C-alpha cells in the first residue's frame, strides 16, 4: 500500500506492506483521513505514536470501507462504511483498527466529512461532557473556535443547550463560525465576556491565567490543546476563590477500552444529531494522497475553517 510517511521532518508518500487484521480487528480501505495538530507535532519528532501503532505513518482519524475481517471480528461486515480514531496509520490506503475502536458512518456524511469526524468530535464530546460535565443553560467558552475540535465543540455545546462563545482570531471566518451556533469574540480580552461555567482550552499556556479569571463559581477548565505553549503560571488563589476545576486530557494514548467507551457515547449522543442535520463537519480543503505535503502546509498556514482532509483512495 501507499501511505503518508514521516521522513527527516517531512511527509512524503512511500510504499509499505499491506497491514493484516489480527484478532477482533478490521481492515479498512481508507477513503478519507483528517489532519490534526498531533500530526504536525509527530512530523516534527515531538509526538511519537503509541506503542504498537505505526511510528512513521501519521493519521489519527480515518474513514473507509471494511475490506477484511480478522479472526473473531463480527461488529461490522465487509463493505460497511466505518470511521475510527486510531493511534496512527490513518493517512494510508489501508488501515487496521480494532472493531470496538470503529463507528458506523451515518448516511449524512460523505467521505471527506467522515474522515474529519472521529478524532475531533470524540475529543470534543469527551472533554465537554465526560470531563467537564457541561449542562444545559451553562455558559461555554471555546478557544480556537474555527479549528476542527473547535467547530465540533461549538455544535456539541449548542446541542446540549449551552450558551456558546468562541474566540476566533481571523475576522474573515468569524461569520461562518457564528453560523455553527456561537457568539464569536476576539481572543484579546476574552475574560471580559465572562463568567463562563466551562472553558475548553485548545490554545494552551498563554490563556490559562485569564481562563481562571473568566471562570464562574464552580467553573471548569478543560485543557486539550497546547499548541501555543505548555508551561504557564496560574494564580491558584483565583482558582480557589472560584472553587474552580482545572482538568487536562488527551485521547490518543488512552487504552482501547477507554477509547471505545468514548466512541460509544459519540455513537449514542452525537451521530443521531448528524443524521438529523443538526451537526455537520466543516471541511476547509481536501488533498489527494500524492499532495499530502501540501495538505500539511495548508494546515499550518492557518486561517481555515474546519478540517483539512487527505483522500488516499
Kindly report, residue by residue over 65-86, the tens digit of the pLDDT: 999 999 999 999 999 999 999 9
Question: Which of 231, 248, 265 delimits the end of a domain?
Answer: 248
From CA 198, how far away is CA 221, in angstroms rounded?
Answer: 6
What CATH number is associated with residue 179?
A: 3.40.50.720
Residues 192 and 234 in one domain: yes
Residue ending a domain, among 207, 223, 248, is: 248
The reply to whether 70 and 173 lie within a common domain is: no
Mapped onto helix, strand or coil, the DSSP state of residue 10 is strand
Predicted pLDDT at 227: 83
Average pLDDT over every residue of 50-64: 95
Predicted TM-score of the model (pTM): 0.95
Query: Is 129 found in the same domain as 110?
Result: no
Query: Contact 126/245 with Cβ under 8 angstroms?
Result: no
Provide the pLDDT for residue 115: 98
How many domains is the chain built from? 2
- Same domain (yes/no): 70, 107: yes
Cα(209)–Cα(77) distance, rounded to whole angstroms? 50
Residue 228: predicted pLDDT: 85
Residues 222 and 303 in one domain: no
Going by pLDDT thresholds of 50, 70 and 90, the confidence category of residue 303 is confident
Give the domain range for residue 176.
121-248
Do 125 and 111 lie in one domain? The reply is no
In tens, the pLDDT along 129-169 reads 999 999 999 999 999 999 999 999 999 999 999 999 999 99
158 and 234 part of one domain? yes
228 and 291 assigned to the same domain: no
Residue keyed to cell 461569520? 175
- Model pLDDT, residue 91: 98
Q: Do residue 210 and residue 148 come from a single domain?
A: yes
DSSP state at residue 126: I
Same domain, 89 and 6: yes
Residue 110's pLDDT band, with cuts at 50, 70 and 90, is very high
The CATH number of the domain where 7 resides is what? 3.90.180.10
CA 255, distance to chain mean position in Å, is: 17
Strand-pairing partners, residue 238, are none
Regarding whether 199 and 158 lie in a shared domain, the answer is yes
Q: In this structure, are 103 and 24 located in the same domain? A: yes
Give start and end residues of each alpha helix (H) in the chain: 37-43, 111-115, 118-125, 148-159, 171-179, 208-214, 236-241, 256-269, 271-275, 292-301
Which of 248, 273, 292 is the last residue in one of the domains?
248
Which residue bears the cell 463559581? 217
Confidence of residue 253 (pLDDT cuts 50, 70, 90): confident
Range list of β-strands (E), the chain: 2-7, 10-15, 25-34, 61-69, 81-85, 94-98, 102-104, 139-143, 163-167, 183-185, 196-201, 215-223, 245-248, 283-288, 307-311
Amino acid at each position: 500500500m501507499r501511505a503518508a510517511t514521516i521522513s527527516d521532518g517531512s511527509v512524503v508518500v512511500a510504499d509499505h506492506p499491506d497491514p493484516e487484521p489480527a484478532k477482533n480487528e478490521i481492515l479498512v480501505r481508507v477513503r478519507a483521513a483528517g489532519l490534526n495538530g498531533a500530526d504536525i507535532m509527530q512530523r516534527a519528532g515531538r509526538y511519537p505514536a503509541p506503542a504498537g501503532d505505526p511510528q512513521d505513518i501519521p493519521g489519527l482519524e480515518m474513514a473507509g470501507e471494511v475490506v477484511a475481517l480478522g479472526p473473531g471480528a463480527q461488529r461490522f461486515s465487509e463493505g460497511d462504511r466505518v470511521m475510527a480514531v486510531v493511534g496512527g496509520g490513518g493517512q494510508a490506503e489501508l488501515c487496521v483498527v480494532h472493531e470496538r475502536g470503529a463507528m458506523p458512518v451515518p448516511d449524512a456524511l460523505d467521505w471527506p466529512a467522515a474522515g474529519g469526524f472521529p478524532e475531533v468530535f470524540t475529543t470534543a464530546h469527551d472533554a465537554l461532557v465526560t470531563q467537564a460535565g457541561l449542562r444545559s443553560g451553562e455558559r461555554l467558552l471555546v478557544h480556537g473556535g474555527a479549528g476542527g475540535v473547535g467547530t465540533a465543540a461549538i455544535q456539541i455545546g449548542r446541542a446540549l443547550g449551552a450558551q456558546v462563545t468562541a474566540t476566533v482570531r481571523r475576522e474573515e471566518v468569524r461569520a461562518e463560525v457564528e453560523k455553527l451556533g456561537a457568539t464569536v469574540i476576539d481572543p484579546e480580552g476574552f475574560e471580559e465576556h465572562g463568567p463562563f461555567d466551562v472553558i475548553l482550552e485548545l490554545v494552551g499556556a498563554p490563556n490559562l491565567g485569564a481562563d481562571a479569571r473568566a471562570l464562574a463559581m464552580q467553573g471548569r477548565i478543560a485543557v486539550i490543546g497546547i499548541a501555543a505553549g505548555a508551561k504557564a503560571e496560574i494564580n491558584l488563589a483565583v482558582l480557589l476563590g472560584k472553587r474552580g476545576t482545572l482538568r487536562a486530557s488527551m485521547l490518543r494514548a488512552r487504552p482501547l477500552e477507554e477509547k471505545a467507551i468514548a466512541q460509544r457515547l459519540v455513537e449514542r449522543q452525537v451521530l443521531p444529531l448528524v443524521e438529523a442535520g443538526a451537526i455537520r463537519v466543516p471541511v476547509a480543503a481536501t488533498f489527494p494522497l500524492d499532495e499530502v505535503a501540501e495538505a500539511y502546509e495548508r494546515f499550518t498556514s492557518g486561517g481555515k475553517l474546519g478540517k483539512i482532509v487527505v483522500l488516499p483512495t
